[in-house]
Structure 1
Amino acid sequence: MFLLWQDVSEIEKKIEAAPDSAYEIGLTIGTYLPFVVLVLVAYAFYYFSRKSRQD
């Protein structure tokens, strides 16, 4: 779902125009990092809410 919000063609154009491989790596990390952080935050909410119900 997150990938649908992003303009994939824009990312592909940036990768093609990248000056070196370090830029490509940074672009990839910057693209997926918000999604990973969102998943971790959602899991933390789930874990702590489940833990508080068991007490």
Structure 2
Amino acid sequence: MIQAVRRLAREHGAQLLAADGMFAEPAATTGPECWAVDRVHPTPAGHAALAAAWLRLVA
């Protein structure tokens, strides 16, 4: 599914925030539950990290 999303973003010229890999480094030191308890739905800290990354992407 990730590859399909990346392909669609390319085809449509959309900016893509590649969140699938974004948490790998911080999760290695803090544990994945800090960012998404169930590894899918972000915690408040995960939402804050996504928001900051999105702002960097579009600013």
The TM tier, using the shorter chain, reads 0.3 to 0.5
Higher-helix-fraction structure = 1
TM-score computed with the length of structure 2 as normaliser: 0.33
